[in-house]
Amino acid sequence: MNGQFSDPDGEEVDFSMEVDGTPSGNIAVSGNSWNTPNINFILWEKGEHQVRIIGCDISGKCSEVSQQVNNSLLFDQVPNQPDFIDDDDSNGLLPASSALLTIISLFIGLICVRGRE
């Protein structure tokens, strides 16, 4: 959530955030704008939750904004299953051809060494 504020008296405004009446997190203030941090709603029970932002000036005059958040979708998601590599692949040509090339290169090396002697 984010928003803007102004105090007609020019007093400093302090902000607080509540989720279901429980103080939660800090509000970032820049100029006359405020932003809430990301809220990890998986920490709360499944269902509707009220997020309230309360701004009060030094003289005690307060204003608030609230929003209902339903976190049910977080609990309904199926966790991703890891992809497993299928080891029953019948294309086993690569290791065999690699071994064949290794043997051929050894023979060529032996022929070259014997040719120099």
Q: What is the pLDDT along the chain (117 residues), one digit of tens a residue?
A: 888 888 888 888 899 999 999 888 888 888 888 888 888 888 888 889 999 999 998 888 999 899 998 988 887 766 666 666 665 555 555 566 677 777 787 778 778 776 665
Domains of the chain from N-terminus onward: 2-73 (2.60.40)
Q: Which tokens belong to 55? A: 């701004």
Of 71, 36, 29, 32, nearest to 53 by C-alpha is: 36
For residue range 60-84, list pLDDT tens digits in order: 899 989 999 898 888 776 666 666 6
Angle at 16 between CA 75 and CA 39, to 5 degrees: 20
Task: Note if the pTM is more than 0.85.
Answer: no
**Distance, CA of 101 to CA of 107 (rounded, Å):** 10
